[in-house]
Structure 1
Amino acid sequence: MDEQQHDAHEEMHTHHIHTHSSSHMNHMDPSVIVFFLLDDLKQGNTMPIHFPRRKPNSSSRLLSKQEADSIPFAFEKLPILLEIFSFSQDSPQAQAMENTLRECETEPIKGETKFCATSLESMFDFIQKILGLESQIKVLSTTHLNNSKILLQKYTIIEIQEISTPKSVACHAMPYPYTVFYCHYQESKSRVFKVSLEGENGDKSEAIAVCHLDTSQWSENHVAFRVLGIKPGYSPVCHFFPADNFTWVPSTTTNDKASI
């Protein structure tokens, strides 16, 4: 459990990339190198991308609703939670838990609906509430076709498919003693893509990317603006998903060759 929590703490950068700040790409945390402009999404284009490779760990699991409901999940209960999981107040695990709980309790931006799912049932309930209770749903995720240890490298875009969908819900894995997903839906228009990539090291990935077409409600401190050198507004901001983050869409969604 300690090793899993340490890994989770280190992965906080990837899941909470919007909380980071940096003034120059050369001094930037590599985990924020996932953002790009819609104009960059062209076959044959090359860009640096950071893809974390998670270690499988059986101690990180999504609880049943009954199990999850028996454990407090609130920032005000953090001292009790640290006792439950035997973490000291100044430990990396405690800091990761605090950050996750704070993030889950922050107010959503205008047009956003958010929810932190602590159980499989609560995650599906939220997804179906957004996509429609009668909707059949499917999940999209990034797949790495080989087991590479190189996290950051230049990738060339081999093929692009647009996932035509009226709505999508993104769920991001959060660092916590058990699996927690930060799920959210934004009313502003976005586009979802499946992108075939080949790395300079020979790595191949089928990556999911989302492009947000309206960022006018985003904080000016969002790291995407620093990475891309733009301001909030109507310049689309795109980002790749790590393999343990998911995009949920109606099962009637179709794949089309992208026209950017």
Structure 2
Amino acid sequence: MAFGFASWVLFFHLLLSPHAKGDRATESNVLRLNTIDDATNDVHHHDHMHQDHGHDKSSLSSQTNKKDPRLMVFFMINDLKVGHVMQIYFPNRHLSPSQLISKQEADSIPFSLEELPNLLQFFSISQGSPKAIAMESTLKECEVKPIKGETKFCATSLESMQEFTRKIFGSDTQVKTLTTTHLKKRTIGLLQNYKIVEISQNIPSPKLVACHTMPYPYSVFYCHSQESENKVLMVSLEGEDGDLVEALSVCHMDTSQWSPNHVSFSVLGVEPGTTSVCHFFPSDNFVFIPFSATM
């Protein structure tokens, strides 16, 4: 999808239309909790881009990483050849208007690890439950300091995501929005073989903003930007059971600043700085790049 800022704002305004807000109330716990339900069963949220920040992934050993089908989203740029077959896991997740709240609502709710006990009470979530652990993990991720050269921000609304993107690119810059699109989907988040049919875009983009959904009672986006050598690719894939996917992927050509414990290194069997690391994005994640990058 391609939007200038005006169209992009209109797109998200439609997602925040009144019919999607009518059953929400900030003062109660009616905010949708299925955001956490999806995320606690999906490594995607924490274990790919977010582990660039140098913290260990003690809960996932190298052996586990290699066996976990949900981690089959990483690859190297040399793997991108028409006709090549790759095992890929695409989670069955979609950005639902019912999970989105306005900036005004989001700003009225504390968003900090220090406030976690109060937040659990507010959302009627039991301490020590999977949902509580997921919330704690998200808040920790959002409070970790960025790595060298990186700017990061956890957006608790689409409006705050827009503000962050404008901060990175400048308010006068037109931005292209990219995401994964399932043109035909027969499976529900299963690992399967996909054949590369076409590489429709290959865009060098030293400056980009990537936003990933995080497990939380409402939609939270982990957005970050680091000026380095990147390539943004749109890849047409055909699954063995007939799935057709227009898949967004990003290749990070310099991984020298990444933690040796980044989950992708154990999956690919490489070390920081030795090769590119690429990954596919699920359909509820976004990448923003300047229009000038595509020209």
Q: When the two structures are superposed, what TM-score results if normalisation uses the length of structure 1?
A: 0.91
Matched, 1:101 2:132: no
Instruction: Give the 3 Å change call, closer, same or farther, for CA 4–130 of structure 1 in structure 2.
Output: closer
Decide which of 105, 109, 122 is 1:71's aligned counterpart. 109
Post-superposition, which runs of at least 4 consecutive aligned residues in structure 1 deviate over 4 A?
A: 55-58
Greater mean deviation of Cα atoms: 50-59 or 18-27: 18-27
Q: How many positions carry a matched residue from both structures?
A: 253
Cα deviations across residues 141-182 of structure 1 (Å, max 9, x unaligned)?
000111322521011111112134442110001111111000
Q: When the two structures are superposed, what TM-score results if normalisation uses the length of structure 2?
A: 0.81
Greater mean deviation of Cα atoms: 29-38 or 245-254: 245-254
2:193 & 2:151 partners in 1: Cα distance?
Answer: 34
2:99 & 2:206 partners in 1: Cα distance?
Answer: 32
Q: CA RMSD in A?
A: 1.8
Instruction: Give the 3 Å change call, closer, same or farther, for CA 57–192 of structure 1 in structure 2.
Output: closer
1:109 & 1:252 partners in 2: Cα distance?
Answer: 26
Give the aligned partner of residue 157 of structure 1.
196
Decide which of 193, 198, 201 is 2:233's aligned counterpart. 193
In structure 2, give the amino acid aligned to 1:14: H
Decide which of 241, 261, 268 is 1:228's aligned counterpart. 268
Structure 2 gap ranges (5+):
1-31, 52-56
Structure with higher strand content: 1
Give the aligned partner of residue 279 of structure 2.
239
Matched, 1:33 2:72: yes
Give the aligned partner of residue 155 of structure 2.
117
Cα deviations across residues 119-152 of structure 1 (Å, max 9, x unaligned)?
2221111111111221011210000111322521
Structure with higher helix content: 2
Matched, 1:183 2:213: no
2:39 & 2:71 partners in 1: Cα distance?
Answer: 16
Cα deviations across residues 95-123 of structure 1 (Å, max 9, x unaligned)?
11000000000111111111000122211
In structure 2, give the amino acid aligned to 1:32: L
Structure 1 gap ranges (5+):
256-260
In structure 2, give the amino acid aligned to 1:200: E
Is the CA contact (8 Å cut-off) linking 1:21 and 1:221 kept in structure 2?
A: no
Matched, 1:60 2:60: no
Instruction: Give the 3 Å change call, closer, same or farther, for CA 231–123 of structure 1 in structure 2.
Output: same
Q: Tell me the secondary structure at the aligned position of residue 122 of structure 1.
A: helix
Give the aligned partner of residue 170 of structure 2.
132
1:3 & 1:222 partners in 2: Cα distance?
Answer: 27
1:243 & 1:213 partners in 2: Cα distance?
Answer: 23
Identity level (%) = 58
2:33 & 2:246 partners in 1: Cα distance?
Answer: 31
Give the aligned partner of residue 206 of structure 1.
246
